[in-house]
Chain A
Amino acid sequence: MSRFKGADFYQIDDLFSEEERMARDSVRDWVDAEFIPIIEEHNRNATFPSELIPQLGEMGVLGASLQGYGCAGMSPVAYGLILQELERGDSGLRSFVSVQGSLCMYPIHAYGSEEQKERYLPKMATGELIGCFGLTEADFGSNPGGMLTRAEDKGDHYLLNGSKYWITNGCIADVAIVWAKLDGEIRGFLVDKGTPGYSTNTIKNKFSLRASVTSELIFADCKIPKENILGEISGLKGPLSCLSQARFGIAFGTVGSAMAVYDEALRYSQTRIQFDRPIARFQLVQEKLIWMVSEITKGQLLAWRLGRLKESGKLHHSHISMAKRNNCWMALECCRKARDLLGANGITDEYQVMRHMCNLESVITYEGTHDVHGLIIGREITGENAIL
């Protein structure tokens, strides 16, 4: 089997260090060998390939950008390229890794007590413990600050009441990072599986991210031990700082989906014969391929620059908004063009394009919708806040 080549029209490889390329290639080979052969089946059955979690831990991709506690401590760009390769496999796989690393391990690492770090991080790095991140509620998506979930200080414990919706990994998680208001201020709580009053439901019948678990979390008079609060952070900036990490990964990840469908469409058009010639010989077909490779190249450069800004400490959250917004859109447009080039074949799961296309409909919405990210950029350049 030949290794997936990605797309590199602009010799962008030269911009990456040897270590960054090695990390990417290693995950690329793993995805080819272990993930691609099983994903369609899981997508069809709407199951997450949990059997691969130990391998993800062994590879070191869980919390790969964090230092210490059994984490690999990779550079931002290396981390991004890892997510690019995972999302080249499936957005559900990348979602699992983003939630585990960026949304769950990151806040424990950044805001947790030493005891919390020791208790959770090493086992989360190996995949023995799985996390989920509960911010969104059924009625509060783009506006999480309006959340209704409440915690009360009962002296020797906190009492948690409310619910969270659209929570990736919810039903399979051993620990939920739950954001709730304590005396009107947003705080993070570590809720362990099995805590009385904590239950979960699976959200079924999704057309998108089928190979990813999406859940509802319910808290009914749920007693949370005092030591389970994330002590070092309060306010919306807590969850938003986690989302910044995850959105960074999506900016790279979606380049992976785009590469996957571009690669598929390119091969298809070189071998599909209509009117006695490969359809790649038609101008209109070439136009679509040209569009894809040009937009992928721009997206790669946006993501690469985003990584270097992060490394040098110059990153602003509006930079992340631009890359997340552009690259999700770009990848989704690539899917639509690639599907067109595959003709009727493109609608079946013999080909991956529809799976990626449907997945990206979630990715363009979660972690901040396309428009909300646009308005974050708008606020930055005009000084006018159009979000509220």
Chain B
Amino acid sequence: MIEIPAFLHWFALLAQGPGRAAAPTLQLVIKVMDIVVCVKRVAATDSQIKIAADGKSLDPAGIEFVLNPYDEIAVEAALAAKEQFGDSTVTVVTLGSADAQKELRTCLAMGADKAVLINDGGRSQDAFSTAETVADYLKGTAASLIFCGKQAVDGDESQFPPRLAELLGMPCVTEITSLTLEDGSLVAERDIEGAREVVNCSLPAVISTNKGLNEPRYANLKGIMAAKKKPLEEIEAAAIDPATSIESLSLPPARSEGKIVETVDQLVDALKNEAKVL
């Protein structure tokens, strides 16, 4: 018997039936892996943002909410891993209000097997409380490969993946643009300033995904029909207080209207005397 990491359950399947002694023995080894993707419902980046009356949050009226685009990439990576490893499960997890069921269904329609909504009733969270809450939940599971988008396009903090890894005691590879999964380990590539880094890492691990890693699949219509029947579990979020709080939120000053000049001389003059950049 080979040594196996605790997080992988191995099944040896004997394709040979007892009555077929003449056939050569074929041993298929299939690993069952619990793959998890942490996702977030965010305001679409082209939404017309309005500040709510409290001056600290967004007014959700008129905003289109979508699955965080980097999380789509994470879901695709998880589905590809499942396709590679065979009999594995992909679970998508989010912390948020009941509204986030929509984004979870999208993930299920793409092909995830089950979804978990850690329902916090929509109360405000920061990276600290989010990571603590999700880690609490994941500690009770056999998650061995955890994907996250490299950042949520609403807060742009990029804190969640490394925090989660830290809390779970797992290594973390961030912002990957290529991934090769092997038995019990992975090789990932990261685009760093002016160079490309190849990283080796053992499983279990937390991976954050960057653009360029893959082209997320569309939720096809059969997937959408199937998603209705897949499990979407809802659990109550633990009462963990955020460590930081938003003081205020304001829109950037409106850009003044552009000016069209007729001649190069006018342009130079405007750059010198109005914009004062020359």
- A residues with a Cβ closer than 8 A to B are 2-3, 5, 18-19, 22-23, 26, 29-30, 58-61, 64, 72-74, 78, 82
What is the CB-to-nearest-CB distance from B218 to chain A, in angstroms, rounded to a whole number? Answer: 5
In the complex, the number of residue pairs spanning A and B with C-beta atoms less than 8 Å apart equals 50
- A73, B105: Cα distance in complex, Å: 18
What is the CB-to-nearest-CB distance from A142 to chain B, in angstroms, rounded to a whole number? Answer: 34
- A58, B222: Cα distance in complex, Å: 9
CB <8 Å contact, B218 and A19: no
Interface size class of B (residues with CB under 8 A): 10 to 19
B228 in complex: contacting residue of A3, A19, A82, CB < 8 Å: A19
Chain A residues whose CB sits within 8 angstroms of the CB of B223 once the complex forms? 60
Chain A residues whose CB sits within 8 angstroms of the CB of B106 once the complex forms? 22
Chain B residues whose CB sits within 8 angstroms of the CB of A26 once the complex forms? 109, 218-221, 224
What is the CB-to-nearest-CB distance from B75 to chain A, in angstroms, rounded to a whole number? Answer: 14
CB <8 Å contact, A64 and B44: no
What is the CB-to-nearest-CB distance from B253 to chain A, in angstroms, rounded to a whole number? Answer: 21
Chain A residues whose CB sits within 8 angstroms of the CB of B271 once the complex forms? none
B219 in complex: contacting residue of A2, A3, A22, A74, CB < 8 Å: A22
What is the CB-to-nearest-CB distance from B103 to chain A, in angstroms, rounded to a whole number? Answer: 11
CB <8 Å contact, B222 and A60: yes
| Segment 206-259 of B: residues with Cβ below 8 Å from A | 218-225, 227-228
Chain B residues whose CB sits within 8 angstroms of the CB of A74 once the complex forms? 221, 224-225
| Residue of chain A at shortest CB distance from B46 | A2
| Sample of 10 further A-B pairs with CB below 8 A, known A3-B66, A72-B221 | A2-B44, A2-B46, A19-B228, A22-B109, A23-B224, A26-B109, A26-B224, A30-B218, A59-B218, A74-B221
- A333, B64: Cα distance in complex, Å: 29
Given the interface pairs A18-B102, A22-B109, the reply to whether A58 lies near B220 with Cβ below 8 Å is: yes
Chain B residues whose CB sits within 8 angstroms of the CB of A18 once the complex forms? 102, 105
CB <8 Å contact, B221 and A60: yes
| Segment 28-69 of B: residues with Cβ below 8 Å from A | 44-46, 64, 66
- A60, B44: Cα distance in complex, Å: 26
Digitize B91-132: 1 where CB-to-A-CB distance is under 8 Å, 0 elsewhere.
000000000001001100100000000000000000000000
- A30, B225: Cα distance in complex, Å: 18
Chain A residues whose CB sits within 8 angstroms of the CB of B219 once the complex forms? 22, 26
* Dominant secondary structure at the A interface: helix
CB <8 Å contact, B105 and A61: no
CB <8 Å contact, A72 and B225: yes
B220 in complex: contacting residue of A2, A19, A59, A73, CB < 8 Å: A59
- A59, B218: Cα distance in complex, Å: 7
B225 in complex: contacting residue of A2, A19, A82, CB < 8 Å: A19
Chain A residues whose CB sits within 8 angstroms of the CB of B102 once the complex forms? 18
What is the CB-to-nearest-CB distance from B201 to chain A, in angstroms, rounded to a whole number? Answer: 32
| Residue of chain B at shortest CB distance from A72 | B221
Chain A residues whose CB sits within 8 angstroms of the CB of B45 once the complex forms? 2
CB <8 Å contact, A64 and B46: no
Chain A residues whose CB sits within 8 angstroms of the CB of B105 once the complex forms? 18, 22
CB <8 Å contact, A64 and B218: no
| Residue of chain B at shortest CB distance from A1 | B46
What is the CB-to-nearest-CB distance from B112 to chain A, in angstroms, rounded to a whole number? Answer: 14
What is the CB-to-nearest-CB distance from B228 to chain A, in angstroms, rounded to a whole number? Answer: 6
Chain B residues whose CB sits within 8 angstroms of the CB of A2 once the complex forms? 44-46
- A274, B46: Cα distance in complex, Å: 27
Chain B residues whose CB sits within 8 angstroms of the CB of A60 once the complex forms? 220-223
Chain A residues whose CB sits within 8 angstroms of the CB of B228 once the complex forms? 19
Chain A residues whose CB sits within 8 angstroms of the CB of B44 once the complex forms? 2-3
CB <8 Å contact, A29 and B218: yes
Question: Which of A3, A5, A26 is the most central at the interface, judged by chain B CB atoms within 10 Å of its CB?
Answer: A26
- A74, B225: Cα distance in complex, Å: 7
- A29, B223: Cα distance in complex, Å: 15
- A29, B66: Cα distance in complex, Å: 12
- A168, B106: Cα distance in complex, Å: 34
CB <8 Å contact, A61 and B221: yes
- A26, B106: Cα distance in complex, Å: 9
What is the CB-to-nearest-CB distance from B258 to chain A, in angstroms, rounded to a whole number? Answer: 10
What is the CB-to-nearest-CB distance from B261 to chain A, in angstroms, rounded to a whole number? Answer: 15
CB <8 Å contact, B46 and A19: no
Chain B residues whose CB sits within 8 angstroms of the CB of A22 once the complex forms? 105-106, 109, 219, 224, 227
| Residue of chain A at shortest CB distance from B106 | A22
Given the interface pairs A19-B228, A22-B105, A26-B109, the reply to whether A59 lies near B46 with Cβ below 8 Å is: no
Chain A residues whose CB sits within 8 angstroms of the CB of B220 once the complex forms? 26, 58-60, 72
- A64, B224: Cα distance in complex, Å: 12
- A29, B216: Cα distance in complex, Å: 11
- A61, B227: Cα distance in complex, Å: 17
A-B contact pairs, 12 of them (CB 8 A): A2-B46, A19-B224, A19-B225, A26-B218, A26-B220, A29-B218, A58-B220, A61-B221, A64-B221, A72-B225, A78-B221, A82-B221
What is the CB-to-nearest-CB distance from A123 to chain B, in angstroms, rounded to a whole number? Answer: 16
CB <8 Å contact, B222 and A72: yes
What is the CB-to-nearest-CB distance from A117 to chain B, in angstroms, rounded to a whole number? Answer: 18
Chain A residues whose CB sits within 8 angstroms of the CB of B66 once the complex forms? 3
| Residue of chain A at shortest CB distance from B102 | A18
Chain B residues whose CB sits within 8 angstroms of the CB of A72 once the complex forms? 220-222, 224-225
Chain B residues whose CB sits within 8 angstroms of the CB of A78 once the complex forms? 221
